[in-house]
């Protein structure tokens, strides 16, 4: 099991991520029949320059595992093999799926691998060389922004807007750097489709609007928490209570997706069939919320009960815009008789979820703007629990065991509504146990007839 001996700008999960890439490249180019494994991490650094530039110096050795073995966790040092020190240099531009890896071991020649580009020579061109040698930092930033625009089909009306979005993109690179630098879990953050939006614009896009709450409404009843022993992990996706990930688009309708996701789970558990229900019905017909300009899950529960229920997704399909209400009570597939507020204690939340199904929650989505994957655990200063702006759905939980550094990390599995290309196939894993990003502030569920 490798030790981390020297200074590091990377957390353990990042070291594991990048070192795995480096060792995999080394294995592919070596003449040995066996895999290499790391014994000691001597030094690691990370720099944000037109992407991520990571350097890791490690002591490695040949293992007893053949290259055909894809799992390195059980590999040990091959008897008689000699250790050597290697420097791994990895440059990633994830928004264009570009990776360049250079490996130098002791006095051996440098080996270079590039993805999505032809190898014209064996020289590893670092981001610093590229920025300072062939172009300015401003040019590199602009080129990165143009690549981002091309990947996500971004278009701006005029030069003034282009320049403004370029500045936002640059500022967001700094925010990404902070999130990665101070991440306490295993999450990685990078350039997503939202990298040209300010924090305020991104927050407004989600649609959770706590200021719309009607203070005269009586609160829902408190849910009874079952007295059960919790399993180590639990996932309603594997039990037929969660539909496919949907996409709210540019409409601030997260609240509607959170509600329909919860009702879909409740209906499946009560009636034994997994159906998809209509978010567009709520966007168009819930006049107590504000459609694509936002709303609240609590209000939506009440409105569904008053209207008489929800139609199916196929009968009232999603348009992602405020349209005229065309609700047909004769096509209602599910009715709601009320809702429950669930305890803010996360152990209680887990117990209720195991016994009763997915939970609707609100969360501060600040860290989600740039989320790539892993278990997200930002500091409160980067993701305030008091600034809830997004409605989502908890569908399960688990514990990540990180044997390399003797850590375990409990997490929630959260279904988002930004399509399957975002995050982990549309899902967000977030730390469980300390109210990260306010996820425990408003847990609730509909009561399905």
56-68 per-position pLDDT tens digit: 999 999 999 998 8
Residue 100's pLDDT is 84
Residue 405: what pLDDT? 60
Q: 100 lies in which domain range?
A: 12-68+76-105
Mean of pLDDT values over 329-355: 97
Residues 195, 297: one domain? yes
Write down the pLDDT at residue 353.
Answer: 98
Whichever domain contains 239, its CATH number is 3.90.70.10
- 101 lies in the same domain as 246: no
Establish if 82 belongs to a structural domain: yes
Judge whether 125 lies within some domain. Answer: no
Question: At 96, which CATH number?
Answer: 3.10.450.10
Residues assigned a catalytic role: 254, 390, 416
What pLDDT band is residue 131 in, cutting at 50, 70 and 90?
very low
Per-residue model confidence (pLDDT) at position 412: 98
Give residue-wise pLDDT tens across range 238-265. 999 999 999 999 899 999 999 999 999 9
Contact 206, 247 (CB under 8 A): no
Q: Helix, strand or coil for residue 395?
A: strand
93 close to 147: Cβ distance less than 8 angstroms: yes
Task: Give the mean model confidence (pLDDT) for residues 191-195.
Answer: 93
- Which residues, including other chains, have CB under 8 Å from residue 389's CB and lie 6 or more apart? 203, 204, 206, 208, 362, 363, 364, 365
Asked whether residue 278 is assigned to any structural domain, the reply reads: yes
Q: For residue 206, is it within any domain?
A: yes
| Same domain flag for 90 and 221 | no
Judge whether residue 216 has pLDDT over 80: no
Residue 379, in any domain of the structure: yes
**Number of domains forming the structure of the chain:** 2
pLDDT digits over 19-55, tens only?
Answer: 988 998 888 888 888 999 998 899 888 776 556 788 9
Asked whether the predicted pLDDT for residue 330 surpasses 60, the reply is yes
Q: What is the distance between the alpha carbons of residues 198 and 167, in angstroms, rounded to a whole number?
A: 10
Beta carbons of 181 and 173 less than 8 angstroms apart: no
Instruction: Mark whether 97 and 199 lie in a shared domain.
Output: no
Q: Are residues 317 and 407 in the same domain?
A: yes
- Mean pLDDT score, 143-170: 92
Min mean pLDDT across 81-90, 105-114, 335-344, 399-408 is at 105-114
Please report the pLDDT score of residue 108 as a whole number.
66
More confident position, 74 or 300: 300
DSSP-assigned letter for residue 411: E
Whole-number percent of the chain with pLDDT over 90: 63
Answer yes or no: is pLDDT of 6 > 70.
no
DSSP bridge partners of 409? 400
Mean pLDDT, rounded, for 427-432:
98
> What are the CB-based long-range contacts (under 8 Å, 24+) for 178-181?
178/382, 179/367, 179/370, 179/378, 179/382, 180/14, 180/46, 181/9
Same domain, yes or no, for 311 and 440?
A: yes
- Using the predicted structure, report yes or no on whether residue 331 has a pLDDT greater than 50: yes
Q: Read off the pLDDT of each residue in 206-230 and give the average, rounded to a whole number.
A: 90
Phi, then psi, of 36 in degrees rounded to 5? -90, 145
Q: Which residues of 15-30 are buried (b: 16+ CB within 10 A; e: fewer)?
A: bbbbbebbbbbbeeeb
Q: Is the pLDDT of residue 382 over 60?
A: yes
Examine residue 349 and state whether it is found in any structural domain, yes or no: yes
| Residues 378-397, mean pLDDT to the nearest whole number | 95
Which pair of structure tokens corresponds to residue 181? 């630098």
Helix axes 297-307, 254-271, angle to 10 degrees: 60
Quick one: 271 and 391 in the same domain? yes
Residue 246 lies in a domain: yes
Whether the per-residue pLDDT at 137 is higher than 70: the answer is: no
Tell me, yes or no, whether 186 lies in a domain: yes
DSSP state of 310: E
| 192 and 90 within one domain | no
């Amino acid at each position: 099991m490798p030790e981390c001996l020297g200074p590091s700008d990377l957390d353990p999960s990042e070291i594991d991520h990048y070192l795995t890439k480096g060792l995999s490249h080394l294995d592919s180019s070596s003449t040995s029949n066996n895999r290499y494994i790391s014994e000691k991490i001597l030094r690691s650094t990370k720099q944000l320059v037109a992407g991520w530039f990571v350097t890791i110096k490690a002591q490695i050795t040949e293992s007893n595992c053949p290259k055909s073995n894809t799992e390195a966790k059980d590999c040990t040092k091959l008897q008689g093999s000699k250790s050597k020190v290697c420097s791994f240099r990895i440059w990633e531009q994830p928004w264009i799926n570009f990776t360049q890896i250079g490996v130098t071991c002791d006095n051996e020649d440098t080996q270079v691998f590039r993805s999505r580009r032809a190898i014209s020579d064996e020289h590893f061109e670092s981001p610093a060389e590229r920025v300072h040698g062939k172009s300015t930092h401003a040019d590199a930033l602009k080129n990165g922004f143009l690549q981002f625009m091309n990947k996500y089909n971004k278009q701006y009306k005029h030069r003034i807007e282009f320049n403004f979005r370029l500045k936002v993109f640059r500022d967001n690179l700094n925010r990404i750097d902070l999130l990665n630098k101070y991440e306490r879990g295993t999450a990685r953050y990078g350039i997503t489709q939202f990298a040209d939006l300010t924090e305020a614009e991104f927050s407004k896009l989600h649609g959770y609007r706590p200021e719309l709450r009607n203070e005269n409404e009586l609160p829902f009843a408190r849910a009874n928490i079952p007295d059960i022993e919790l399993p180590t992990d639990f996932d309603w996706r594997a039990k037929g209570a969660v539909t496919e990930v949907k996409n709210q688009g540019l409409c601030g309708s997260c609240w509607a997706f959170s509600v329909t996701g919860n009702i879909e789970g409740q209906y499946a558990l009560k009636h034994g069939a997994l159906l998809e229900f209509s978010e567009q019905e709520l966007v168009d017909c819930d006049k107590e919320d504000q459609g694509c300009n936002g709303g609240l899950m609590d209000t939506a529960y009440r409105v569904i009960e008053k209207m008489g229920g929800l139609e199916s997704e196929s009968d009232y399909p999603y348009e992602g815009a405020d349209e005229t209400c065309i609700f047909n009570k004769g096509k209602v597939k599910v009715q709601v008789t009320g809702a429950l507020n669930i305890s803010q204690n996360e152990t209680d939340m887990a117990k209720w979820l195991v016994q009763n199904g997915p939970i609707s929650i609100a969360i501060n989505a600040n860290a989600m703007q740039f989320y790539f994957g892993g278990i997200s655990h930002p500091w409160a200063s980067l993701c305030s629990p008091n600034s809830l702006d997004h409605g989502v759905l908890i569908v399960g939980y688990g514990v990540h065991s990180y044997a390399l550094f003797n850590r375990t990390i409990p997490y929630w599995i959260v279904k988002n509504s930004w399509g399957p290309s975002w995050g982990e196939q549309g899902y967000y894993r977030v730390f469980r146990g300390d109210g990260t990003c306010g996820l425990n502030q408003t847990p609730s569920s509909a009561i399905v007839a």
